[in-house]
A and B are shown apart, each in its own frame.
Chain A
Amino acid sequence: MSGTENQAVRPAVLFETADDLDAINRLYRKNRWSDGLPIVPPTKARVEAMLKCAGRPRDALVARVAPAFGAATVEGIAINAVMAGCDPEYLPVLIAAVEAATAPEFNLQAVQATTNPVAVMIILNGPLARTLEVNSTFNCLGEGAWANATLGRALRLVLRNIGGALPGDMDRATQGQPGKYSFCCAENEAETPWEPLHVERGFRADQSTVTVVGVEGTINMNTHTDKGAEVLDMFAQTMIHPPSNEYIFGGEPWLILGPEHAATLARAGYSKADVKARLWQLSRMPASLLPPKDLERVQNARRPELGEFGAEAMLTISPRPEDICIIVAGGPGTHSTYAPSFGMIRAVTRVVG
């Protein structure tokens, strides 16, 4: 348990327990200090080892985490990193992720407290992702890589234990989703035919960054076509789904392209900006697909952007083509992922360290 009080920035509280893993996990389970999985006990020795990689004083305040606005100190973050099983070298990534997730444009209060299933996905770019062996290839959104699993889990623990987002309490998610346990990968920069995400967002290629994204889930897109235009048609048809926050609020859809699909598009002459522009056009959705009550929601939410419109309108998925976000990740295969965003949110990137 972080022991950080919600309002005061105080050192962690030490608990004396039997030196017994089962007993410790019973304590964490009873107090709802875990995500439902067993934790690595954050002993003083483990936390001190973690803090050696922090690069900042242990009592430095990184952020206040909504909705409880608990104080995420370096020490508090380190404790949750230990609990998740992180290597100490991961801590600067987690600190940057907390900074990113608490930036105003990420809208963390809504992300944490909504009935929507939104999970916070972490994307790593730059050399540190390779040094830390963050998986960007086979099964990069699945299980099996220590860094991916524990970093994603550690951020969730911070959001719960410091942010206070406990299900049924201040986390009001109707159903949630598996990505709320852990959701982290790196971009496959060796395989992308375009500039990687962090360069596109204004950072140098040799900088290491973490980007946080609020996504409703993952939808697989499997197409064997070798024609770029047909790949885009398939993607756009997947993106068009009426019960989507993207169309209601004007979202920020994320596409995680498998390297084969990215190569097909690049061979067909599409730049990343071309892909976005084409998808923005192709994914326009007839407003008539929405029941009247949902159409009214879209009208209320997007009137400042779109003006007055009715069921005859073609709704764009996002306000601008450049709001569509693309990374390349995964191994060989004809699969890509559409990750619908929470809608009223924008991804945030921060430099690690």
Chain B
Amino acid sequence: MGHAQAKALGVPALPIVAIDHPFGVRSRDEVRAMAEKAVDDVARVMSGGGAP
């Protein structure tokens, strides 16, 4: 979805941090762990490290 939307919006090379889907069936702790991992990936992308 993120890649498709980035392409549609004219920025196909936008670095995207992907989160596994679905997360609706996961526990709060699992979702929190996913979020913490995503924060690290976002930081890496924003500091020029490229998509994880």
Among A13-21, A85-93, A164-172, the stretch that binds chain B is A164-172
- Contact of A113 with B by CB under 8 A: yes
Q: Could you tell me the dominant secondary structure of chain B's interface residues?
A: loop
- Contact of A69 with B by CB under 8 A: yes
Return chain B residues, CB-CB under 8 Å to A67. 1, 4-5, 8
- Contact of A297 with B by CB under 8 A: yes
Given A113-B1, A169-B4, A170-B1: A6 and B24 interface contact (C-beta under 8 Å): no
Given A293-B25, A296-B28, A297-B24: A69 and B9 interface contact (C-beta under 8 Å): yes
Q: Could you tell me the dominant secondary structure of chain A's interface residues?
A: loop
Return chain A residues, CB-CB under 8 Å to B8. 6, 67-70, 164, 170
Q: Given A67-B5, A70-B8, A113-B5, list of 13 further CB < 8 A pairs?
A: A6-B8, A7-B10, A69-B8, A164-B4, A164-B5, A170-B1, A170-B4, A170-B5, A170-B8, A172-B1, A293-B25, A296-B28, A297-B24
Q: Chain B: how many interface residues by the 8 Å CB criterion?
A: 9
Return chain A residues, CB-CB under 8 Å to B10. 6-7
Q: Which residues of chain A have a CB within 8 Å of any CB of chain B?
A: 6-7, 67-70, 113, 164, 169-170, 172, 293, 296-297
Return chain A residues, CB-CB under 8 Å to B24. 297
User: Are A7 and B4 neighbours in the complex by a CB distance under 8 Å?
Assistant: no
User: Are B25 and A68 neighbours in the complex by a CB distance under 8 Å?
Assistant: no
* Shortest beta-carbon contacts, A-B, top 8: A68-B8, A164-B8, A170-B4, A7-B10, A169-B4, A67-B5, A6-B8, A113-B1
- Nearest chain-B residue to A170 (Cβ)? B4
Least Cβ–Cβ distance between A240 and chain B, in angstroms: 22
Annotate B18-42 by CB proximity to A: 1 below 8 A, 0 otherwise: 0000001100100000000000000
- Docked CA distance A68–B9 (Å): 6
Return chain A residues, CB-CB under 8 Å to B28. 296
- Docked CA distance A26–B12 (Å): 28
20 A–B pairs (Cβ distance < 8 Å), ordered by A: A6-B10, A7-B9, A7-B10, A67-B1, A67-B5, A67-B8, A68-B5, A68-B8, A113-B1, A113-B5, A164-B4, A164-B5, A164-B8, A169-B4, A170-B1, A170-B8, A172-B1, A293-B25, A296-B28, A297-B24
Least Cβ–Cβ distance between B44 and chain A, in angstroms: 26
- Docked CA distance A172–B5 (Å): 12
- Docked CA distance A297–B4 (Å): 28
- Docked CA distance A296–B24 (Å): 10
Least Cβ–Cβ distance between A169 and chain B, in angstroms: 5
